[in-house]
Amino acid sequence: MTVEQDTKRQFAIVFGKPDWEPFKVVAESYLRQAAYLRKKHLRKVPRRKLLARNSQKRLFIGVAIELLLKAVYLQRGYCVNVLADGNGSLQWPYTAEQVQAHRLTVNPDKTQELNECIQKLTEDVLKLGSDRETVMEGLRVAKVYRNKEAHIVTSTHDYVPADYRKIESALTSLYRHAFNQKLDLRFSVASGEKPVFRVRPT
């Protein structure tokens, strides 16, 4: 067994419906960090604090989005693990009951990728009504943030406030439709911008 395989085994699990809540809890910790993180919080970062802060904010947002979407799928009984090799007869999103009914096995080492979670968020999974395009637009921006910040560092990046507002609007709608909760969210990015992260019942 390789070091990589041995390490993967530490995290191997077939996720079920009860796991949606810890996914959401951890996602919210990332969102709160993304909203409130300031340069002063980056201790012992001697140079380029603004670059490091903004990069972390975007990465936290992207990771939070993936975990939240998986919470949505799990809460509704869908399996987020991919099928084991050779079990391609069932197309995702599939429920845990469908996996059992087809006598298939899933890979405990691997879950669906963020892009799949976004693309497959159909009305069958979650009814978004007239908010659908708002949600999808914000999710796609967050996906780019996650992919870029996890793989590269750019010394300059155009600050586009509208992108953050799209993500905030997407998450506000997602919380209302998926969790029946009201989310107040504002990412503090520009100078003097006040951060907000609050979740309450609708």
pLDDT digits (tens, 9 = 90+) for 46-69: 788 888 999 999 999 999 999 999
Mapped onto helix, strand or coil, the DSSP state of residue 108 is strand
pLDDT band at 169 (very low <50, low <70, confident <90, very high): very high
Mean pLDDT of the region 100-128: 95
Least confident range from 65-69, 104-108, 141-145, 151-155: namely 151-155
Q: Which residues contact 189 (CB under 8 A, 6 or more apart)?
A: 54, 57, 159, 161, 164
Query: Between these two residues, 15 and 8, which has the higher pLDDT value?
Result: 15
What's residue 43's pLDDT? 80
Inside any domain, residue 88 = yes
Record the tokens describing residue 124, joined without a space. 């069958």
Inside any domain, residue 7 = no
pLDDT band at 147 (very low <50, low <70, confident <90, very high): very high
Rg (CA), the chain: 18
pLDDT band at 5 (very low <50, low <70, confident <90, very high): confident
Evaluate if residue 44 carries a pLDDT over 80: no
User: Mean pLDDT over all residues of the chain?
Assistant: 94
pLDDT band at 30 (very low <50, low <70, confident <90, very high): very high
Evaluate if residue 45 carries a pLDDT over 90: no
The tally of domains found in the chain comes to: 1
Q: Which of the 8 DSSP states describes residue 182? A: E
Query: Using alpha carbons only, what angle is made at residue 68 by residues 153 and 102, rounded to the nearest 5 degrees?
Result: 115
Q: How far apart are CA 78 and CA 96, in angstroms?
A: 6
Q: How far apart are CA 25 and CA 32, in angstroms?
A: 11
Inside any domain, residue 1 = no
Mean pLDDT of the region 135-157: 93
Evaluate if residue 89 carries a pLDDT over 90: no
pLDDT band at 42 (very low <50, low <70, confident <90, very high): confident
Question: Could you tell me the pTM of the whole model?
Answer: 0.94
Inside any domain, residue 73 = yes
Mean pLDDT of the region 111-131: 96
Query: 144 lies in which domain range?
Result: 13-201
